[in-house]
Amino acid sequence: MTAPVVTRVAVDAPYGSEHTPDAEPAIGWITESATPGWVQARAELELRRTDGVHALEFAGRDSARIAWPFAPLSPREEVELRVRVTGSDGAASEWSAPRRIVAGFLAEGEWTAATIGLADPGAPARPFTARREFDLDGEVRRATLYASAVGVYQAAINGRDVDDQVMKPGWTPYQLRTVHETTDVTALLRSGANAIAIRAAGAWATENYGFRGNTHVEYTEQPHIAALLVIDYADGREERIATGPEWTAAPGPLTESGLYAGESYDARLEPAESPSVAGFDGSWAAVQVVDAMPVPGARVSPVVRRTQELPVAEVITTPAGRTVLDFAQNLVGRLRIRVSGPAGTVVTLRHAEVLEYGELGTRPLRAAAATDRYTLAGSGIEEWEPEFTFHGFRYAEIDGWPGELDPADITAVVVHSDMERTGWFDTSHELVNRLHENVVWGLRGNFLSVPTDCPQRDERLGWTGDIQVFAPTAAFLFDVRGFLDSWSRDLALEQEPDGMVPWVIPSVLVSKPAAAWGDAATVVPDVIYERYGDADTLARQYGSAKAWADKLISLAGERRLWEGGSQFGDWLDPDAPPAEPAKAKTHPDIVASAYLFRSTFLVAKAARILGRSEDHARYAQIAEEVRRAFLAEYVTPAGRMMSDAQTAYALAIVFEIADPDQRQALGDRLAALTREGGHRIGTGFVGTPIIQDALTVTGHLETATALLTQTENPSWLYPVTMRATTIWERWDSMLPDGTINPGQMTSFNHYALGAIADWLHRTVAGLAPAAPGYRRILVQPHPLDGFDHAAAEHITPYGRAAAGWERTADGIEVRATIPANTDAEVVLPDGSRHEVGSGAHRWLVPTAGA
């Protein structure tokens, strides 16, 4: 009998943080066991608090997302949790390592910080630094900084930044919800004189949003900050230092800063010493106290950090004689330079994703200058990295560099929300592997505080339709639960009183109800539930989901069909003209009515899960009425759609609108259309995530394989053959001749079409949840012709799961690893079914003639 081991104790908190935003956070733990089929029979929990150790024990298998079983945490309370488990075989684990948990929130009324900014900024969106000195007269037991901004900020105490985060606190609907960081700064304080300084810029808060000259500032013309430093002395005293009128502020060497424009920094304006050092001698003015921001809440989402650095891969001299650096990867972040030269020398850094005619291809940026400028102080070797902006780029044009450029002096710094990587995929097909890697890079670049459409042009908005289709893929590759939880809260806050969901969250555009976009209100919480077993988010978002469904029901009326209105439809169908991306082959009414069904169905499902029986009965009935109306209006008895296009068939099949006896005919027609199109993709944002599932479930895996491996335009692999390192917005964002698509809207880093990866994980490798949170796993691989192997791994709430297959001389070998305390349903390529418990498993399926 081998003893199990508790390898991780989990709690709802941002990745890498001890600070939970909740008084009663969900908890869980991962157990590893060498015993096949290991199942937890009992768990013991010990919570160490200042008043002693609180112990409890419960029987059963539950070990993921367990409701907090102790008295609620008090604001700023510090505790330690450890776990011991016993299996059904009677073997018990040792106690886990203690998991430190800190209540990262303040009590109601505790936030006393005033919101401050420059009294006389003199220019829009003026960056500034605010400071204050203070004295400490005793031994400090703990010091915690709670800080926020309408804009972005970084704090420093006694000459050192308080953490390694960037672009904090991120983007929320500032007028409705702000977020504070909770940072332990005990180690930065010292006896006697101390100083704190906060650098700030506008970023999302001061940006101009909108298109074609119709732009506006949504939130504020100037950035503002607020901070509260709580100091606990060893003798029991407490001192609080909050932003207020006694603080001073001044502009600094960061003279201009914007997300779209970039930053300008004049090192000649740097003070001789840091403003965060006591005794700083600067002639600074009193701050202006402005109307308070909403009381900030503790952070739910992961923080933004620098996560990787890339060196220059190639130095290019363009036909015009310009110097361009190629980093061999389309990324999101900024450049860090090391330079020396005469004072006043200006080094200009321009960013773009592609080259066109050998020069920097900046047309897709539209009004975004994406340009940083550094003015040298002339003080020897100088290092600089923009602080409050980011760019989407692979190439950077360097102008004004003093002397000979050494590429080792310029580094690309990758920036995004720092989430735990949880999913991997590999196959024998090199182009498909690169496609999958492009999906990963696209996610990283567009998961920066909010799930954006693109990271480079004058947009970078949280488009609801994009994340609605991509959420399942994201939830496999990274732990995005907290990220999407936080964003979903903002969606509910921004939702109109009549239930209409804006096109983008945070909402900075005038919107109308749009199918597949507003349906993020129902789809994203369902994905969070299915992939993480998170019923808490499902419950919290239920009112939002229901309001959206009710809005659609009112639009559909007695016909139970959503017809007319302004729709995005199957956005960016490859046959749509460059200037008319909504002009798809599938009629927008079919898309709208299909999503009417899906949202009412998902609300009914959520109501059932949450025990709301009356709601479940009502929405299930409406969903059935919509389904029947859809079939009567859009599907012929012979199995043809009124829009004879791939997306229409895929919607009817995958959303399970079609009757079982119709599904095969629809699938056959879908396969025929795909073959007639030369196995080139014919779908846009709506059809692309589901077409492969539609082909697979109707028995057309061979057609799905040909569609996946097509390299001619349009296809998933065409961009790969064109050296793409991220997913493009359009199938042909770059034309075969190397020129940029003539449409005024094109991006080379847009994850929506990368939703294909979810099919690669679930269907090709065969790893999927069979119950919420992977408590039960479905292993159902589909070997593809021309592929030698495929495999996927995913860190579930119960531990690492894996599935895959490989062709051998004897047949197809299928392998699976099932985490402890879970089980799996296995469907092999020959159709045979197996039930297995945890552990490593292997099956050999003979091939024909073997």
pLDDT digits (tens, 9 = 90+) for 440-466: 999 999 999 999 999 999 999 999 999
Q: What whole-number distance in Å separates Cα of residue 318 and Cα of residue 133?
A: 51
Is 270 catalytic? The answer is no
Q: 166 pLDDT exceeds 80?
A: yes
Residues forming CATH 2.60.420.10 domain(s) in the chain: 772-845
At residue 115 the predicted structure's pLDDT band, cuts being 50, 70 and 90, is very high
Are the C-beta atoms of 135 and 194 separated by less than 8 Å?
Answer: yes
Q: Which residues contact 781 (CB under 8 A, 6 or more apart)?
A: 763, 764, 765, 766, 790, 803, 804, 805, 814, 828, 829
**What are the start-end ranges of the H helices in 677-822?**
691-697, 701-709, 718-721, 756-759
3-state class (DSSP) for residue 21: coil
3-state class (DSSP) for residue 650: helix
Pairing label, strands 447-448, 789-796:
unpaired
Q: What whole-number distance in Å separates Cα of residue 717 and Cα of residue 728?
A: 11
> Cα separations (Å) of 142 from 108, 187, 299, 458?
21, 9, 20, 43
Q: What whole-number distance in Å separates Cα of residue 798 and Cα of residue 790?
A: 23
pLDDT the model gives residue 641: 97
Q: What whole-number distance in Å separates Cα of residue 784 and Cα of residue 92?
A: 43
Q: What whole-number distance in Å separates Cα of residue 695 and Cα of residue 106?
A: 52
Structure tokens at 432: 């498909």
Q: What whole-number distance in Å separates Cα of residue 83 and Cα of residue 96?
A: 5
Q: Which amino acid is at 29?
A: W
pLDDT the model gives residue 62: 97
The neighbouring-strand residues paired with 221 are: none
Q: What whole-number distance in Å separates Cα of residue 128 and Cα of residue 118?
A: 7
CA torsion 278→279→281→283, rounded to 10°?
Answer: 70
Fill in the DSSP letter of residue 774: G
Are the C-beta atoms of 598 and 515 separated by less than 8 Å?
Answer: no
Q: Which residues contact 527 (CB under 8 A, 6 or more apart)?
A: 471, 472, 475, 484
Is the bond into 169 cis (omega within 30 degrees of 0)?
yes
Question: Active-site residue among 133, 181, 263, 459?
Answer: 459
Q: Which amino acid is at 334?
A: R
Question: Active-site residue among 181, 256, 263, 729?
Answer: 729
Q: Which amino acid is at 676?
A: E
Q: Which residues contact 122 (CB under 8 A, 6 or more apart)?
A: 251
CATH for 304-416, options being 2.60.120.260, 2.40.50.100, 1.20.1730.10, 2.60.40.10: 2.60.120.260
- Residue 20 phi/psi, 5° resolution? -90, 145
CB atoms within 10 A of CB 234: 10
DSSP letters for 284-344: -EEPEEESPPPPPEE--SPPEEEEEEEE--EEEE-TTS-EEEEEEEEEEEEEEEEE---TT
Residues forming CATH 2.60.120.260 domain(s) in the chain: 115-298, 304-416
Q: Taking residues 94-101, report their average pLDDT.
A: 98
Q: What whole-number distance in Å separates Cα of residue 620 and Cα of residue 630?
A: 15
pLDDT the model gives residue 848: 66
End-to-end CA distance of the chain: 39
356-389 core/surface letters (b: 16 or more CB in 10 A; e: else): eeebbbbebbbebebbbbbbbbeeeebebbbbbb
Among 690-694, 706-710, 845-849, the range scoring the smallest mean pLDDT is: 845-849
The pTM assigned to this predicted structure is: 0.97
Is 221 catalytic? The answer is no
pLDDT digits (tens, 9 = 90+) for 248-307: 999 999 999 999 999 999 999 999 999 999 999 888 999 999 988 999 999 999 999 999
pLDDT digits (tens, 9 = 90+) for 328-365: 999 999 999 999 999 999 999 999 999 999 999 999 99
CATH class of this structure's domain 5-103: mainly beta
Q: Is the C-alpha dihedral spanning 191, 195, 199, 205 positive or negative?
A: positive
> Cα separations (Å) of 52 from 55, 233, 299, 574?
10, 22, 28, 65
Q: What CATH number labels 772-845?
A: 2.60.420.10
Residues forming CATH 2.60.40.10 domain(s) in the chain: 5-103
Q: Taking residues 704-729, report their average pLDDT.
A: 98
Q: Which amino acid is at 16?
A: G
- In terms of phi and psi (left: phi > 0; alpha: psi -120 to 50; beta: otherwise), the region of 236 is left
Q: What whole-number distance in Å separates Cα of residue 506 and Cα of residue 190?
A: 40
Structure tokens at 71: 């008295």
The neighbouring-strand residues paired with 200 are: 128, 153
Q: Taking residues 711-731, report their average pLDDT.
A: 98
pLDDT digits (tens, 9 = 90+) for 201-228: 999 999 999 987 789 999 999 999 999 9
Give me the half-sphere count of Cα atoms (radius 13 Å) on the Cβ side of residue 208.
14
Q: What whole-number distance in Å separates Cα of residue 807 and Cα of residue 829?
A: 12
Q: How many residues appear in the chain?
A: 850
> CA 362: distance to chain centroid?
26
Q: Which of 585, 694, 588 is nearest to 645 (CA)?
A: 585
Q: 850 pLDDT exceeds 60?
A: no
pLDDT the model gives residue 214: 84
CATH for 115-298, options being 2.102.10.10, 2.40.37.10, 2.60.120.260, 3.20.20.80: 2.60.120.260
Among 41-50, 277-286, 543-552, the range scoring the smallest mean pLDDT is: 277-286
DSSP letters for 386-445: -SS--EEEEEEEEES--SS--GGGEEEEEEEE---B-EEEEES-HHHHHHHHHHHHHHHH
Q: 744 pLDDT exceeds 50?
A: yes
> Cα separations (Å) of 704 from 21, 537, 756?
44, 35, 11
Q: What whole-number distance in Å separates Cα of residue 5 and Cα of residue 34?
A: 9
At residue 847 the predicted structure's pLDDT band, cuts being 50, 70 and 90, is confident
Are the C-beta atoms of 57 and 42 separated by less than 8 Å?
Answer: yes
At residue 672 the predicted structure's pLDDT band, cuts being 50, 70 and 90, is very high
Structure tokens at 374: 């550094």
825-840 core/surface letters (b: 16 or more CB in 10 A; e: else): bbbbbeeeeeebbbbe
Longest dimension (CA), the chain: 87
| Cα angle for residues 814, 819, 821 (degrees, 5° grid) | 130
Long-range contacts from 431-437, C-beta under 8 angstroms, 24+ separation: 431/709, 431/711, 431/717, 431/720, 431/721, 432/708, 432/709, 432/717, 432/760, 434/720, 435/716, 435/717, 435/720, 435/756, 435/757, 436/757, 436/760, 437/725
Q: What whole-number distance in Å separates Cα of residue 588 and Cα of residue 448?
A: 31
pLDDT digits (tens, 9 = 90+) for 403-448: 999 999 999 999 999 999 999 999 999 999 999 999 999 999 999 9
